Amino acid sequence: MRPEPSSNVRKRAKVLIVDDHPVVRYGLLQMLSNEPDFEICGEAASAQEALALVDQRKPDVAVVDISLKGTNGIELIKQIHAMRPEARILVSSMHDEKLFAERALRAGANGYINKQVAITEMVGAIRRVLSGKVYLSPPMTERMVERAARLDSDASRSVIQRLSDRELEVFSLLGDGLSTREVAQRLNLSVKTIETHRAQIKRKLGLRNSTELIQRAVEWTLRQG
């Protein structure tokens, strides 16, 4: 049994783990529980569970995956940030940092880290966001600094990055093979709304028809792994 911290030890930070893979949650829980300055205040497999725990447990930091069943991680970040602005949010994901890190930061996250990093790096990332700083990998940090230096003209952005968060979510689900109706059910939106998003995606990507849209979505999803 871990001894109780003495009165001169700083209060432990409450950590919430949000991931729909039980093995990942267990691994994070075991790893972070060994840190004397962390206290796991809950774990969630879905956005609904996560929001309930944010309300009940008042975490200091939430470690959130991008890919969740139902509401995706970007939308959850926005909701956590609105519910508890003082909480720090670290995204832990297998998705391409170049595409998702900036979206996560715009949504209210304070850092983005790949799930395959070493344990010490994950712990360091959590401590960094808890200290009020932003955590990104060195290559991503360099990329953002360079882009800021040249003021990031719209022409320099990849076409996919021009999609809104919701459009990217729809695009990704289409790439997973879901129909328009299935996408609507997954996101709790109307079929008409999804059709509007599809039209916007085709326009932004310069696609002529639905066949090209599905083909591009599937190719992109496969590249994401």
Contact 109, 77 (CB under 8 A): yes
Structural domain count of the chain: 2
Work out the pLDDT band at 161, boundaries 50, 70, 90: confident
Residue 42 confidence (pLDDT) above 80: yes
| Domain coverage including residue 50 | 13-147
Query: Would you say residue 211 has pLDDT above 70?
Result: yes
| 123, 147, 171 - which closes a domain | 147
Q: Is 119 helix (H, G, I), strand (E, B) or coil?
A: helix
Residue in 220, 222, 165, 224 with CA at minimum distance from that of residue 197? 165
Identify whether 153 is part of a domain: no
CA distance 68 to 55: 19
Half-sphere exposure of 94 (CA within 13 A, CB side): 10
Q: Is residue 193 part of a domain?
A: yes
Q: What is the pLDDT of residue 10?
A: 64
> Does residue 5 lie in a domain region?
no
Residue range 182-192: mean pLDDT, rounded: 92
Give me the pLDDT at residue 221, please. 75
Percent of the chain surpassing pLDDT 70: 88
**In angstroms, how far is CA 49 from the centroid of its own chain?**
16
The mean per-residue pLDDT over the stretch 120-129 comes to 92
CATH code, domain carrying 83: 3.40.50.2300
With left for phi above 0 and alpha for psi between -120 and 50, is residue 87 left, alpha or beta? beta
Across residues 188-209, what is the average pLDDT?
A: 94
Judge whether 192 lies within some domain: yes
Is residue 188 over pLDDT 80? yes
Give yes or no for residue 139 having a pLDDT over 50: yes
Structure tokens at 182: 């299935």
pLDDT at 155: 47
Cα Rg, the chain, nearest whole Å: 19
Give residues with Cβ within 8 angstroms of 179, minimum separation 6. Answer: none
Residue 6 lies in a domain: no
pTM greater than 0.75: no
